Structure 1
């Protein structure tokens, strides 16, 4: 089986398994869920399978479609995993995370003020932080259509692995984040986008302590603090984009900014960012173990089926 086929089947298996396992975990933890989204996502999964069969002869198009569809499908079990971790109701870890920053010699309020006082720093970081969704959707599509079919599947597969591991780690570190800990009020900020420091707090407190809380996909927020999944994504996106020379350095700069933005725009402790970067490193190291031959040959572009057929007689004649 080729590396592309292994990555593709692994992605389908992870997606299907996540949807099969999480209803059991939801029942075990006791989280009430509004399952109104299930029908639409079941249809989307069936549509993804049909697209995979219908586009078999065009591997670049199939990879572009599947990386998008399975990426969207994985969002739901990942968000549920975050909520389940918080629902286990471990003690708030803000004091512990704050202490870790202090051990590193970091003064988060001073860092926030430094960036907020300089619009030429704050505005690019705001843009970089908001770039997550755009990169997540369009980068694997660009990789697939440019011939880097394997890397497009790998990116979404590693996204799932990294995020699920992050959810497990976060069980022991539920946190309100830096804005609440250091009593930063929205009116205190001049240039930093103040949305992300507060928008999730009501949802976080409710899922942790409200016995009547019901999970709704329409109201779901990013409520994980440690590790920072924005920082982990920044490393993942930069690694994935490295395969395309015309994206390599722009995406390296963009994602360096996105990782930094998590510590100021994203309401994260600096140690959250460090942990997110380390988590992404583990995911990429796992990829190197699973696909060593592909990495060694530099992710050679996937050849269309008709090119392989034309080349086959020549190989047999040598």
Structure 2
């Protein structure tokens, strides 16, 4: 970790002892503050992924304001808040000693906040209680030649295939664990922030679409599968206020399929990782097949989720390729928010040491430029 400290007077006197010009120290000391270049140093960062944290803080703020307006309350949040605080404290404690372990603790905290913010946002979207669109979704499935009930029966009538699909469908959390524990101590730690940033960015359109185009899902329509999620969903569609336990929140969104969104984003996160990446891609391909019969989604849900994830990736890649993010970062550093973000990252701007001779040369160039020579 390339960190440097500002030197005291004793350090300067020792290092500058061999400089060619030392007699004008009082004069050059004042000039140094004006003409000396500054060096941007990435010292100890408080947050490894500040943009992801900023997005999640925004989502939490939306959750709090929206929930207060519609009368939605959550219990058990104190436990999660305590756990997240402990993880962040450990991250800060290990930041100077072992950046990999610090990243690991922060990544777990980031995931917990993301899951909590996203779950509450989906519950709030369901409370809008717009007219159900299940009949339209079935017509759209048939229009592209997909019979959900026949597909469900054909796949689940084979025990081995059914088991494979169940394992693939429930592999999302293990994949996240693998990504966090493998990438945190390595040079690919940026992939974690990238994944959670994309996941947060896709939560908003997912919530908006599910609010405008709500469905109960084919499980409820055909009376098959696990329909325990309907208790919360139907309660939210009734009049409030509502109270739920944060540890018992369920996936209640069907359109678009957020499971599909995460399958695509996880495959993207493991890109260029050799055999592991190919294995993850294969596993997620099977997951996509399992989402309609195991997850209770229409095929159109899956298509919409894949389009949403691919669109987010395309925007992210285009932004990075064109350097827009660097331009915005450069502009943000000149604002108060940019300075606050720099402090959150732990970045320190300290003056670089230069000799008195170099100061004199720079001072002369400034005078020449002022005089027009």
Fold match, TM over 0.5? yes
Query: What whole-Å deviation, never above 9, does each CA across 1:133-185 have from its counterpart, x for those lacking one?
Result: 2222332321223421111211122121122321111111221111221233x
On the 8 A contact 2:91/2:101 being kept in 1, the answer is: no
Q: Does 1:109 align with 2:149?
A: yes
Q: Distance between the aligned counterparts of 1:68 and 1:153, measured in 2?
A: 11
Out of 166, 182, 185, the residue aligned to residue 126 of structure 1 is 166
Q: Distance between the aligned counterparts of 1:255 and 1:17, measured in 2?
A: 30
Query: What whole-Å deviation, never above 9, does each CA across 1:186-208 have from its counterpart, x for those lacking one?
Result: xxxxxxxx4xx312011111111
Instruction: Report what 2:86 is aligned to.
Output: 47
Where structure 2 has 5 or more consecutive residues not aligned to the other structure, the ranges are: 1-39, 324-373
Instruction: Report what 1:227 is aligned to.
Output: 256
Instruction: Report what 2:100 is aligned to.
Output: 60
Secondary structure in 2 aligned to 1:157?
Answer: helix
Q: Distance between the aligned counterparts of 1:83 and 1:178, measured in 2?
A: 19
Out of 1, 4, 8, the residue aligned to residue 49 of structure 2 is 8
Q: Which structure 2 residues correspond to residues 9-88 of structure 1 after superposition, within 5 A?
A: 9-28=50-69, 30-37=70-77, 39-57=78-96, 58-88=98-128
Q: Distance between the aligned counterparts of 1:247 and 1:66, measured in 2?
A: 24
TM-score with structure 2 length normalisation?
A: 0.69
Q: Does 1:172 align with 2:212?
A: yes
What's the offset of the Cα at 1:35?
4.2
Q: Distance between the aligned counterparts of 2:71 and 2:174, measured in 1?
A: 31
Q: Distance between the aligned counterparts of 1:51 and 1:160, measured in 2?
A: 24
Q: Distance between the aligned counterparts of 2:55 and 2:261, measured in 1?
A: 19
Q: Which structure 2 residues correspond to residues 139-158 of structure 1 after superposition, within 5 A?
A: 139-158=179-198
Q: Does 1:254 align with 2:283?
A: yes
On the 8 A contact 1:48/1:70 being kept in 2, the answer is: no
The two structures, once aligned, show a CA RMSD in angstroms of 2.3
Instruction: Quickly say closer, same or farther: Cα 1:243–1:71, change in 2 above 3 A.
Output: farther
Question: Which protein is bigger by CA-based radius of gyration?
Answer: 2
Question: After TM superposition, where is structure 1 displaced by more than 6 Å over at least 4 residues in a row?
Answer: none
Instruction: Report what 2:247 is aligned to.
Output: 218
Q: Distance between the aligned counterparts of 1:227 and 1:204, measured in 2?
A: 15
Q: Distance between the aligned counterparts of 1:162 and 1:9, measured in 2?
A: 18
Out of 302, 321, 331, the residue aligned to residue 273 of structure 1 is 302
